[in-house]
Amino acid sequence: MLRVAQAQINPTVGDLKGNTKKIIAYIEKAKGNKADIVVFPELVLTGYPPEDLLHKDHFVKDNIKALKTIAAKSKGIFAIVGFVDKDSKGIYNAAAVIDNGKIGKVYHKQKLPNYGVFDEQRYFCEGKSGSGMFTLNKVKCAVNICEDIWHDKGPFKEQAKKGAAIIFNLSSSPYDYTKLKQRERLLAKRSKQTKAYIFYTNLIGGQDELVFDGGSLVAAPNGKIISSADRFKEELLINDVHKGPIKAAKAYGRNITVVKKAKPQTQIASIYNALVLGTKDYIGKNGFSKVVIGLSGGIDSALVAAVAVDAIGRDNVIGVSMPSKYSSKGTQTDAKRLAKNLGIEFKEIPIRSLVGAFDRALKPYFKGLKANVAEENIQARIRGNLLMALSNKFGWLVLTTGNKSEMAVGYCTLYGDMCGGFAVIKDVPKTKVYALCEYRNAQGKTVIPVSIIKRAPSAELRSNQKDQDSLPDYGLLDELLSGYVEKHQSFAKMAGKGRKNAAIKAINLVDLSEYKRRQAPPGIKITPRAFGRDWRLPITNKYKEF
Amino acid sequence: MLRVAQAQINPTVGDLKGNTKKIIAYIEKAKGNKADIVVFPELVLTGYPPEDLLHKDHFVKDNIKALKTIAAKSKGIFAIVGFVDKDSKGIYNAAAVIDNGKIGKVYHKQKLPNYGVFDEQRYFCEGKSGSGMFTLNKVKCAVNICEDIWHDKGPFKEQAKKGAAIIFNLSSSPYDYTKLKQRERLLAKRSKQTKAYIFYTNLIGGQDELVFDGGSLVAAPNGKIISSADRFKEELLINDVHKGPIKAAKAYGRNITVVKKAKPQTQIASIYNALVLGTKDYIGKNGFSKVVIGLSGGIDSALVAAVAVDAIGRDNVIGVSMPSKYSSKGTQTDAKRLAKNLGIEFKEIPIRSLVGAFDRALKPYFKGLKANVAEENIQARIRGNLLMALSNKFGWLVLTTGNKSEMAVGYCTLYGDMCGGFAVIKDVPKTKVYALCEYRNAQGKTVIPVSIIKRAPSAELRSNQKDQDSLPDYGLLDELLSGYVEKHQSFAKMAGKGRKNAAIKAINLVDLSEYKRRQAPPGIKITPRAFGRDWRLPITNKYKEF
């Protein structure tokens, strides 16, 4: 028998000391569970992605030192640890196979992703083929890293040919709501192709705009996922591999007794959990303990407040209502009720007199001119200034509340409602905001007042304003945006089904708002293409298809 | 004889129609000058860098259509045009050799830079070796693209072996103040290595954070730069290649009659010119005509105002002074004098009553607490709100005035003085701000009052505040920042010469300010590493060397 422990842990980028400590703790835990081997995720030692920290020689040296510390604490067990290796040619995204306290074989990742949020060719050299094989209790094993198993020509092929009965894949695979299915399908396919057991070990945790969802698993040679860890949680998944009847395992005469399989989550549940974990980790890893949120009485700030409470607890969330003369009774009451339902501190700072002071200051220049977006934005920026003042005074992090639909078309005020350190629902389309609120309310008592969910969305920056006065219906808009933003669809395709005018409007607004997005706070990626590292459009851009 | 025209032009990213028109106009101009061949810069048709526009299939198709339009207008001349090519494998950074109206050979760039500001491996496939040769009036020629000639193992080697007597290199090489010397040294070396004439044709113009400086040139086989175009200007550089005595040219029995060599610029002059061009193009290419600048009476805003006037003319620049109770008489007078010297419109909007209104609004929460950075930032954010109100009302672009030293250590207010569409001197260290002001004053009459240059820098956000109360002396700070930011130096190196405390302070401040920089407006890169695409540090980052 062989006992395999998969350490699905949450390191912090750059925190070599903290990560080392955590890795050693999990090695101890694996030993305590009498595991023969413990496997960690990709680049677990540095955190993922370390980005330009990799350009610092001393950082790479410190990470190698840390690996030696870990090795010294790994007597009596095999451990596979992701780290950054270095030779005369450059640095590598690497995995060290530590054998009873000694660093043995070191594997270098061969397929370096350089698309979407990934920039690995910016930093790493490619590993040489023919590597990654080692023997564990007489079983032929192989190790490879993330993309190595996704790529059709990845090293898993060669490793299988060399007789690997078990393949350990170390991953740091960022969450989006389409990823899990792809991943399960892929690993099932790969295990069939290789006729090996694949132990897929994934990171968990939030890192700036990315959330890693864990969901580490074991795929059997027959293409079945036979064991899996929970998502969005640290876990040591332990499975025994031993002799038995599974046919495909004949190659080495062993199979697996299922120890644990995680309960599946709905897509909406996984998005909600990703938002909670991403928010929790951004706050915690950046040294904050409390957050402040502007509560408008609208649905976006309601969802952000609920996520924040679930992330760091109601005692650490402060809601601030900042009504103006355009704020309706309905939204003001709802903001209060929301705060009460969530059990968070609630402050009210009316902005009427501040708006008046700005009107007076600008009167010499604005006299005789029609009120327009200038006056609307002044209000939003007064609110931003107030939230930032509270942040600066009390050390609270401001969470912004804009959703992806708004961010896409620029229906938000730069330096106004866009003020803040972290944009929780930046990548959540408006239609999914509704679904997430319904989901949250269904988890127990109704925390988000139904009147908030039912009310037609409004920025309340002028009389009787409704979002839908300026924008296509959100259902249609989100479909168009998914095409334009997430799939780079052509105008011809988007304009079908009589949608020409709406498509032109959406495309023009997205193009025009690039300058705003460039100054937006980071937020959690949940879709296949977010407005983050995976969206690199120029601001200066005169391309038009129509 | 062979007449070569190098079209150093300024396209706009994405503007396929406009760029096509401009390219055709230069082809006409070259024909009018009886040139045998006209060469354009890298990706001139799409503009550089097109970034994620390259992910749009229809964009690539439209660019190929545009190339055909250009070819049809190129009868009676050879033209080499940079564009995006496509085949079943993917897309290529390519150069089309158009021969008398027909698209002949198409060369694919082989060495794709993926460091610094470059992400070419994100988009392009590598070209095959052995390509790029063509014959022009019986002379063996070769074409390659930018990095192809920088890389030690670039295709220029093979092309020389095949007998290329002339190598055309198409470039889009972004400016920094160290680049020209490197470029001249490199091309001299390459021409000696290849024993060929190298015609290096570079783009000019501003594109978001990048400025392309032109400086197209001809390097002779003896390693001499024998002809060069001006920098930061569109130009059609024409040179005749004909029989003559230069020994190294024996291979094909021709040499060059020098037609034109540009006058050298000092480093400071080149920085100033880069700022002017970058500002002019950001404003113009994004459809603005006027800009508004907050004038504090300090040196940073003075320099930005001078650059803006030189970029778009004094009639298009509005200066706004927004004094508070902490503004000194000296700075207020200086702001007015600066505006007068530059001949720009000047507005004054005092903020005392606005500050009072915020104090009153926040009193219930701030009562009994000591004034701190919260109160300082409120003032900066009131000013930001006023500038943005003017921007929203009149369609003026706000230029921000922060320098690189401030941006590095976070000595600036997010949503306050950081408000604006374009950050002109974002990559200019404070010590170079002084040098640039001296340079500008030396060009004619003194426009930047000497009292502005002489006064100790202050944010004037509290009584008797001086930058140097919170920061190391700017001379020392800029040295430390150059080490930490531009060279990724280690703490050990930075802390030498008794600088340990200052180094710790600088490093901690730079690390802590990453979240601010992530929300900063784009600004012009002038150093080898700016806070733009060439700076990708995580916000969440616990790495410390000390």
Tell me the two tokens of residue B221: 């086989």
* Smallest Cα distance from A545 to chain B, Å: 8
Q: Is the same domain home to B39 and B60?
A: yes
CB B311 within 8 A of CB B276: yes
Tell me the two tokens of residue B292: 């508004």
Q: Is the same domain home to A217 and A324?
A: no
Could you write out the three-class secondary structure of A256-309?
Answer: EECCCCCCCCCHHHHHHHHHHHHHHHHHHHCCCCCEEEECCCCHHHHHHHHHHH
Is A415 part of any domain?
yes
pLDDT in tens, A62-78: 999 999 999 999 999 99
pLDDT at B130 over 90: no
**Which pLDDT score is estimated for A311?**
98
User: What is the C-alpha separation between A200 and A173, in angstroms, rounded?
Assistant: 11
Share above pLDDT 90 across residues of chain B, in percent, rounded to a whole number: 91
Is B234 part of any domain?
yes
Residue A15's pLDDT band (boundaries 50, 70, 90)?
A: very high
Q: Is the same domain home to A333 and A249?
A: no
Mean pLDDT of the region B304-308 = 98
Q: Is the same domain home to A357 and A280?
A: yes
Residue A524's pLDDT band (boundaries 50, 70, 90)?
A: very high
* Residues within 8 A of B (CB atoms), A 78-137 only: 114-115, 119, 121-122
**On the CB side of A88, how many CA atoms lie within 13 Å of its CA?**
0
Does residue A485 sit at the B interface (CB-CB below 8 Å)?
Answer: no
CB contact under 8 A, B393 and A369: yes
Q: Which residue of A51, A519, A535, A546 to mutate against B (max B Cβ within 10 Å)?
A: A519
Contacts of A358 in chain B (CB under 8 A): 354, 385-386, 389
CB B276 within 8 A of CB B310: yes
Does residue A392 sit at the B interface (CB-CB below 8 Å)?
Answer: yes
pLDDT at A254 over 50: no
Which one of B234, B264, B294 terminates a domain?
A: B264
Does residue B281 sit at the A interface (CB-CB below 8 Å)?
Answer: yes
Q: Is the same domain home to A15 and A140?
A: yes
> How many beta-carbon pairs below 8 A join chains A and B?
240
CB contact under 8 A, A381 and B381: yes
Does residue A514 sit at the B interface (CB-CB below 8 Å)?
Answer: no
Is B500 part of any domain?
no
CB contact under 8 A, B421 and A515: yes
CB-closest option in B56, B281, B377 to A388:
B377
Mean pLDDT of the region A86-107 = 97
CB contact under 8 A, B366 and A393: yes
pTM exceeds cut of 0.90: yes
CB-closest option in A13, A537, A540 to B538:
A13
Tell me the two tokens of residue A277: 């974990």
Q: Is the same domain home to B299 and B229?
A: no
Share above pLDDT 70 across residues of chain A, in percent, rounded to a whole number: 97
CB contact under 8 A, A51 and B393: no
Does residue B450 sit at the A interface (CB-CB below 8 Å)?
Answer: no
Tell me the two tokens of residue A71: 């090795």
Q: Is the same domain home to B136 and B158?
A: yes
Is B477 part of any domain?
no
Mean pLDDT of the region A320-341 = 96
Residue A259's pLDDT band (boundaries 50, 70, 90)?
A: low
* Smallest Cα distance from B53 to chain A, Å: 7
CB contact under 8 A, B51 and A538: yes
**Distance of CA B357 to CAs B362, B382, B441, B512, Å?**
9, 11, 41, 31
**Which pLDDT score is estimated for A138?**
85
CB-closest option in B18, B393, B543 to A16:
B543
Share above pLDDT 70 across residues of chain B, in percent, rounded to a whole number: 97
**Which pLDDT score is estimated for B40?**
98
Which one of A468, A500, A516 terminates a domain?
A: A468
CB contact under 8 A, B286 and A381: no
CB contact under 8 A, B540 and A13: yes
Give chain A's radius of gyration (CA, Å).
26
Q: Is the same domain home to B278 and B228?
A: no
Q: What crossing angle do the helices spanning A299-312 and A267-285 adopt, rounded to 10°?
A: 70
Contacts of A545 in chain B (CB under 8 A): 58-59, 62
Active site residues of A: 42, 109, 146
Is A515 part of any domain?
no
Does residue A368 sit at the B interface (CB-CB below 8 Å)?
Answer: no
Q: Is the same domain home to A292 and A378?
A: yes
Is A209 part of any domain?
yes
Is A416 part of any domain?
yes
* Smallest Cα distance from A347 to chain B, Å: 9
pLDDT in tens, B463-495: 888 888 888 899 999 999 999 999 999 999 999
DSSP conformational letter for B522: P
**Which pLDDT score is estimated for B243?**
53
Helix (H) or strand (E) holding A236: strand A235-242
pLDDT in tens, B413-439: 999 999 999 999 999 999 999 999 999
The domain that holds A45 is classified in CATH as 3.60.110.10
**Distance of CA B320 to CAs A17, A363, B18, B399, B524, Å?**
50, 15, 35, 11, 23
Q: What is the distance, to the nearest Å, from the Cα of residue A437 to the centroid of all Cα atoms in its chain?
A: 19
Strands A166-171 vs A197-202: parallel, antiparallel or unpaired: parallel
Active site residues of B: 42, 109, 146
**Which pLDDT score is estimated for B402?**
97
Q: Is the same domain home to B131 and B194?
A: yes
Q: Which of residues A250 and B232 earns the better pLDDT score?
A: B232
Does residue B161 sit at the A interface (CB-CB below 8 Å)?
Answer: no
User: What is the C-alpha separation between A206 and A212, in angstroms, rounded?
Assistant: 6
* Smallest Cα distance from B123 to chain A, Å: 8
Q: Which residue of A352, A541, A545, A546 to mutate against B (max B Cβ within 10 Å)?
A: A541
Which one of B471, B491, B517 terminates a domain?
A: B471
The parent domain of residue B408 ranges over: 268-471
Question: How many structural domains does chain B have?
Answer: 2
**Which pLDDT score is estimated for B78?**
97
* Smallest Cα distance from B76 to chain A, Å: 30
Mean pLDDT of the region B391-410 = 98
* Smallest Cα distance from B117 to chain A, Å: 10
**Distance of CA B234 to CAs B22, B41, B42, B202, Å?**
11, 12, 15, 10
* Smallest Cα distance from A389 to chain B, Å: 5
- Cβ contacts of residue A496 below 8 Å, gap of 6+? none
Helix (H, G, I), strand (E, B) or coil at A437: helix
Residue B240's pLDDT band (boundaries 50, 70, 90)?
A: confident
CB-closest option in B390, B415, B419 to A365:
B390
pLDDT at B211 over 50: yes
**Which pLDDT score is estimated for B134?**
95
Closest CA to B213 of B22, B423, B10, B422: B10
Torsion angle of C-alpha atoms B250, B254, B257, B262, degrees rounded to 10: -70
CB contact under 8 A, B538 and A58: no
**Which pLDDT score is estimated for A106?**
98
The domain that holds B374 is classified in CATH as 3.40.50.620
Is B520 part of any domain?
no
Contacts of B361 in chain A (CB under 8 A): 349-351, 353-354, 386
pLDDT at B527 over 90: yes
pLDDT at A225 over 60: yes
pLDDT in tens, B333-345: 999 999 999 999 9
Q: Is the same domain home to B259 and B374?
A: no
Contacts of A59 in chain B (CB under 8 A): 543, 545
Tell me the two tokens of residue B480: 């430390």
Mean pLDDT of the region B316-325 = 97
**Which pLDDT score is estimated for A528?**
97
Residue B251's pLDDT band (boundaries 50, 70, 90)?
A: very low
Q: Is the same domain home to B304 and B286?
A: yes
**Which pLDDT score is estimated for A152?**
96
Contacts of B285 in chain A (CB under 8 A): 540, 542
Does residue A208 sit at the B interface (CB-CB below 8 Å)?
Answer: yes
ipTM reported for the complex, 2 dp: 0.95
Does residue A366 sit at the B interface (CB-CB below 8 Å)?
Answer: yes
Tell me the two tokens of residue A437: 């609120």
- Pick the residue from chain B with its C-alpha nearest to A206: B540
Q: Round the average pLDDT of chain A to a whole number and report it.
A: 94
Residue B223's pLDDT band (boundaries 50, 70, 90)?
A: very high
- Cβ contacts of residue B479 below 8 Å, gap of 6+? none
**Which pLDDT score is estimated for B247?**
33
User: What is the C-alpha separation between A133 and A453, in angstroms, rounded?
Assistant: 56
